[in-house]
Amino acid sequence: MILEFTAFLALAIWCYLALGRGGFWRCAERDDGTPPPPAIWPRIAVVIPARDEAGVIARCLGSLLTQDYQGTWSVIVVDDNSSDGTAAVASNAAADRDAQNRLRIVPGAALPRGWTGKLWALSQGIAAADALDYTVDYFLLSDADIVYAPEMLRWLVAYTVSCGAVLSSLMVKLRCESAAERFLIPAFIFFFQMLYPFSWVNRADRRIAAAAGGCMLVRADTLRDIGGIAAIRDALIDDCALARKLKAKGPIWLGLTDRVTSIRSYPRWSDIARMVSRSAYAQLRYSPVILAATALALVVTFTVPPVAALMGGEYASLFGLMAWATMALLFAPTLRFYGVSPWLGIALPAIAFAYLMFTLNSAIQSVRGQGGLWKGRFQATRAR
C-alpha cells in the first residue's frame, strides 16, 4: 500500500513537472533569431577571471579577440595568482592575433577575507575596466574556458539592448564527449532547468531568478546600483546570486546556446563529482533540514518509479511505469541537445541517485570545513 501511494505521488510529481513547471524540459529558450541592431553599439568590457587556466585560455581569447563586434570593446584578464603561466599564455594569444591593444592583463591581488576567489578577481577586473579611456556600458563576465562563435558578442549585445535586459546570460554548451560526461552532463542541465525554468526566469512577473556564470552580459550602471560585485562577494553560487540582485532592478534573460561552448573537460566520474559537490550544499543554504527534504524528494521522484514498476503490485507497477516513462520523455529534449541517445532517459533514476551522492558528499565536505574547493582554495565559509 505504501509503495502504491508513493508511486502515485511520483506520477503526480512528474505530471506537474510536465505541465506546470514552465515547460522547462522543452529546452525552448534559445539564442534564436536575429535581434535588431542598436542605433549605437554599446561600449563593452569583457572581464575574465583566470586562475591556473593556461590549458584553456588561449582558445577562449582566440575566440573573443576575433569577434565581429562593431562597437568599442576590450578584454581584461585577471590573473588570479596563477602558478602555470596563465598570463604569458594570454599575452601570446593576443600577440598571435595582433590584438595586444585590445587585451589588458591585471595581476590579481591576494584574496581578502570574506570573498570567494572568482568574485574577487571579477571585482578587480571591473575596477580595471573603470580605468579604461572610455565609459563601459556593459560588462561581459566570462569564464576562461569558454569559446565563442564570431558573432556571439554582437548577438548577445543586440538581444540584450532590444529586450531592455539588465542581465542576459547564456547557458553555454558543456563538453559532452567522455563516457562520464555523456552520462552525467545532460542531467546537470536538465536539473538546472528544473530548478530554474528559463521561461520563468525570463518573465518579469515571476520572482525566480538565475543565470549561468560562464557567460553573463551585465549592464554597468545597474551593477553599480546594486553595489557592484561586492554585493555578492561571499556567494558560492555567484551567478544566481547576481541574477536575484539584478532582477530586482529590471528584466533578465537566460537561454541555451550551442554557439558558446565550454572546453573544460571532465574525463572521469570523479571530475564531475567534484564539480557538483563544490556548490551543491550551498544551493541548499547549508541546511541539514533542506538536505534531508531534498534527499527524500529525490528518492520519491526518481527512485520509487523504477522500484514500483519492477517490484510493485498491479497499481504500484502501473503508476511506477508511467512515472518512469514520463521522466524519460521529459529528459529526451536535453539529451538530443547534447547529441546523446534519448534512450539514456531510462537511466535517469540512476543518474539522479549519483547526483544525490554528490550532494551528500558536498554536505560532508562543508561540515569538515572543506566546502567549495576550487583551484586549491576552500571557499564555503558559511558551513564552518
Residue pLDDT, tens place only, 144-199? 999 999 999 999 999 999 999 999 999 999 999 999 999 999 999 999 999 999 99
Q: What does the DSSP 8-state code read for residue 382?
A: G
pLDDT of residue 232: 96
Residues 209 and 307 in one domain: no
* Mean pLDDT for the chain overall: 94
**Same structural domain for residues 314 and 356?**
yes
pLDDT value at 381 more than 90 = no
Q: pLDDT category, 384, cuts 50, 70, 90? A: very low
Q: Are residues 243 and 374 part of one domain? A: no
Clarify whether residues 223 and 346 are in a common domain.
no
Same domain, 158 and 296: no
Which range (17-31, 155-169, 216-230, 278-292) has the least confidence?
Answer: 278-292
Per-residue pLDDT, averaged over 313-337, amounts to: 97
Asked whether residue 281 carries a pLDDT value surpassing 50, the answer given is: yes
Query: Are residues 16 and 68 both part of a single domain?
Result: no
pLDDT higher at 369 or 206:
206
Q: Nearest-CA neighbor of 370 among 288, 278, 291, 289?
A: 278
Last residue of a domain, one of 238, 267, 296: 267
162 and 280, same domain (yes or no): no
pLDDT in tens, 198-210: 999 999 999 999 9
Examine the domain organization and report whether 137 and 231 are in the same domain. Answer: yes
Looking at this protein, which amino acid is placed at residue 349? P
pLDDT tens-digit map of 89-126: 999 999 999 999 999 999 999 999 999 999 999 999 99
Q: Which residues contact 141 (CB under 8 A, 6 or more apart)?
A: 47, 122, 213, 215, 216, 217, 218
Residues 222 and 313 grouped into a single domain:
no
Confidence band (pLDDT; 50, 70, 90) for 278? confident
**Whether 256 and 340 share a structural domain:** no
| Overall average pLDDT of the 288-300 stretch | 96
**Domain-terminating residue out of 247, 267, 287:** 267
Q: How many domains does the chain have?
A: 2
All 3 cell numbers of residue 305? 518509479
Residue 383 is predicted with a pLDDT of 43
DSSP characters over 132-200 = SSS--SEEEEE-TTEEE-TTHHHHHHHHHHHHT-SEEEEEEEPP--SHHHHHHHHHHHHHHHHHS-HHH
Please identify, among 267, 297, 323, the residue that sits at the C-terminal boundary of a domain: 267
In angstroms, rounded to a whole number, what is the distance separating the alpha carbons of residues 259 and 159? 15
What was the pLDDT predicted at 370?
Answer: 67
Asked if 327 and 345 count as a contact pair (C-beta separation under 8 A), the reply is: yes
- Whether the per-residue pLDDT at 265 is higher than 90: the answer is yes
Cα gap 322→310, rounded to integer Å: 12
Same domain, 63 and 157: yes
CA distance from start to end of the chain: 42
Orientation of helix 314-337 relative to helix 304-311, angle to 10°: 130
For residue 137, give the CATH number of its domain: 3.90.550.10
- What's the pLDDT band for 282 if we cut at 50, 70, 90? confident
State the residue range of the domain holding 182.
Answer: 28-267
At how many degrees (to 10) do helices 348-367 and 269-277 cross? Answer: 60
